[in-house]
Amino acid sequence: MRLATLTYMNMRRAILTCALAILGVVDGAWGQGTAPANEAKAVFAGGCFWCMQPPFDHVPGVTATLVGYAGGREENPTYKQVSAGETSHRESIEVTYDPAKVSYDKLLEVFWHNINPIQTDGQFHDIGDQYTTAIFYTNEEQKTAAEASKDALAKSGKFPKPIATAILPATKFWPAEEYHQKYYIKNPSAYGIYHFVSGRDSYKQRTWGSER
């Protein structure tokens, strides 16, 4: 692993350690509610889940978001386990939305615009399988839409390599510990530094420009 990557990961751990000291929280699993009849759920893995929550929170029609862990076999995974690559889970986000106000296609667009879809070893400076990207579909309609959007992205001419994002059936989503939820609100300074250093914003500007 490159020195720059190690330094970046150490910075992330340091930011988290400081946040925990301030909040005085304890690791724990938090419950996962069921969406009302007029709502639906979508699950995405886009690398660092701290960075994926703000884009979806700001979409009209999204009623709730939870960051957590998905795609793996292990039950009750913890941040310590997942971030260390000790499980088969990915850092993920569960989006609850009102289909009458926002479409699944729009959520896919938000997802694509906030990741590097051709990176195969993680996302930006976060390296490891736990940070690789995926779309977890909950029904056949979502699967069809995800495959169509991935195909369209591949044909867009924006990317010099194949789209690496996996499209997988959704399994149980495990919410992350409470101190990770809305991290950008609870710890705006620490989040801002981390997000800037990650290179996400500069990548989005180069790739999407005014389409962001």
Extents of the domains making up the chain: 3-211
3-state helix, strand, coil in the chain (%, to 5): 45, 15, 40
At 5, is the pLDDT very low, low, confident or very high (cuts 50, 70, 90)?
Answer: very low
Residue 105 CA to residue 113 CA, distance in Å, equals 12
pLDDT score recorded for residue 10: 54
pLDDT (0 to 100) of residue 150: 98
Mean pLDDT of 40-60: 97
Q: Which CATH class is domain 3-211?
A: alpha beta
Q: What is the pLDDT of residues 80-128, one digit of tens each?
A: 999 999 999 999 999 999 999 999 999 999 999 999 999 999 999 999 9
- CA dihedral sign, ordered 110, 133, 91, 171: positive
* Residue 85 Ramachandran class (φ > 0 left, ψ -120 to 50 alpha, else beta): left
Mean pLDDT is lowest, of 51-60, 76-85, 116-125, 190-199, for: 190-199
Q: CA 104, CA 126: separation in Å to the nearest integer?
A: 27
Q: How far is CA 197 from the centre of its chain?
A: 17
pLDDT confidence of residue 209 = 86
Question: What whole-number distance in Å separates Cα of residue 68 and Cα of residue 98?
Answer: 21
- Mean pLDDT of all residues belonging to the chain: 88
The pairing of strands 62-70 and 166-169 is unpaired
Active site residue 18: no
Question: For residue 176, is pLDDT > 70?
Answer: yes
Q: Which of 16, 42, 43, 48 is catalytic?
A: 48
28 pLDDT higher than 70: no
Q: What is the mean pLDDT of residues 177-206?
A: 94
Whether 19 shows a pLDDT value over 50: the answer reads: no
